[in-house]
Amino acid sequence: MNKIDVIIVGSGIAALQLAYKLSNHKHVMIITKGQVKDSNSFMAQGGIAAAIAKTDSPQQHFHDTMTAGEGHGNEYRVNDLVEEGKKVIEELIDAGAPFDLEADGSLSLGVEGAHRVPRILHSGGDQTGKKLVNFLLESLQASDHITWMENVMVMDLILNRDGKCIGIKAKNSNEELLEFYAPHVVLASGGAGGLFTQSSNHPTILGDGIALAYRAGASVGDLEFLQFHPTLLSANGKTVGLISEAVRGAGAILVNDRGERIMEGIHDQQDLGPRHVVAHEIFKQVTSGKYVFLDITTIHNFKKRFPSISQLCKAHHVDLSKGKIPVLPGSHFMMGGVVTDRWGCTSIKGLYAIGEVACSGVHGANRLASNSLLEGFVYGSRLSMFLLKTKVEEYPKDFVPAPDNKNPLETLPFTRKELQEKLTHYVGIIRNNDSLQHHFAWLNSFSIDPFANIDQCRRADIQTYFMWINSVLMTQSALIRTESRGGHIRSDFPNKDYKRWLRKSIIHYRKK
């Protein structure tokens, strides 16, 4: 039994920030089923939001976040996010993080959807995630308290007889079963956007953390709230990569193949309206037989300002000289996940969740653009403070696994592709009771045990199994919420249920 203080599952911004904050104090193991840079964080083109401008304030950032979340956000958690987010970004600036600057040396601040003022910091134009991940990785290189485990898939959480999480089971690329024990296990594995056929997510992001927590008995919530990004690059009817919201922030407008502006008269912020509003309008245009484009003719030096996007377009034979980029909406971000408190603690002792895998309450029903990287930094820092103050039992006391009496998982009667196609069709941008009930019945027609023993299963089968678990949970959640709010749109319940919203209808900003 290797002595490890903290096991972190995942390697995005939240995971790396936590590891960085703990690296001088505890032995940390970072486990990822692919390579360290296989994360949505690394792929993030957009920036990171923080109220650091003189004309901005945490109060305004709070208001925009709560408004985008359509009243479903937790006021206290959002307050923590915007207050501490400002401090975390200032710490990064002081540490030399490579944020873009204006010609006069001041920070370059952009505007994105549903932000009322410019507050988006970028790095490398549209390479913010890549630059910040590399910055944290470089900061961690000097630490001898970090153990890296790549190509290792976590397949189960280990609990003791008291129901405390004491470790993980995993399989390496050779299908060998591994076990690691620690008093603290942190899920930072990302969301579940890859469950859909059209997605901006890294292909490894398939809801593993949510399935792991659910199988262990942890509370999960708000899984019906999935954000579809309005503008993914469209090539031959498929989405092949993200076109950052920063492009619209720089002046691009959405038009259809008739040259009509599709967001005119739809929202007071037009092309920079909340993501679910814009995605819905594009969806309606496409389903009516029209094509939608980003008109970038007003953006000067596009290739210099957006090098990654330009390269993506070139790779898929989109001629930028024509000034139009074909786009489609696709799954992007989960607002729900493993339910946590203000520090990142789950309902299971010894188990924590941070980043997109967590239902932290900061995003409500729809995430405000560029708050995701901010959440990763803030909760990585918050959880580090909690863990550094938490006393644990000495090894090996309490590190005796509970007996496993589960039945083995039987052969799955569907493929990964089939799950993705059906979830996209029945639980996509627009939902209704009939489609949800049909899909829920299909998912449950196979009598699969969501708590089966999977020790002898191969990694590929475990992955498909986790996808099925997430599909069941997401579909059930969408059935339960009989209203339309944020990323959850039901054609049979098109309006918000204000009785549900009553507790959230008065928004208060609480300054510390």
Q: Considering only CA atoms, which of 186, 426, 244, 207 is closest in space to residue 334?
A: 207
| Residues contacting residue 117 through CB under 8 Å, at least 6 positions apart | 53, 55, 56, 60, 111
Query: CA–CA separation, 295 vs 290, rounded Å?
Result: 15
Which of the following is catalytic: 215, 275, 431, 485? 275
Query: CA–CA separation, 212 vs 396, rounded Å?
Result: 24
Query: CA–CA separation, 133 vs 380, rounded Å?
Result: 13
Q: Considering only CA atoms, which of 252, 234, 253, 250 is closest in space to residue 242?
A: 234
Phi, psi angles (nearest 5°) of residue 483: -165, 170
Whether the Cβ atoms of residue 195 and residue 15 lie closer than 8 Å to each other:
no
Q: Considering only CA atoms, which of 361, 369, 322, 319 is closest in space to residue 343?
A: 361
Supply the DSSP string of 340-395, one letter for each residue.
--TTSB-SSTTEEE-GGGEE-SSSTTSPPTT-HHHHHHHHHHHHHHHHHH---PPT
> In terms of residues, how long is the chain?
512
Q: Considering only CA atoms, which of 189, 167, 188 is closest in space to residue 178?
A: 167
DSSP state of 413: S
Whether the Cβ atoms of residue 184 and residue 343 lie closer than 8 Å to each other:
no
Strand order in the sheet with 292-295: 238-242, 226-235, 324-334, 292-295, 253-256
3-class DSSP state of 303: helix
Type of residue at 499: K
Provide the H-helix boundaries in 23-153. 40-43, 58-68, 75-95, 128-140
Type of residue at 54: K
Query: CA–CA separation, 508 vs 512, rounded Å?
Result: 13
275 an active-site residue? yes
Query: CA–CA separation, 87 vs 96, rounded Å?
Result: 14
User: For tokens 């002898």, what's the residue?
Assistant: 456
Residues designated catalytic: 275
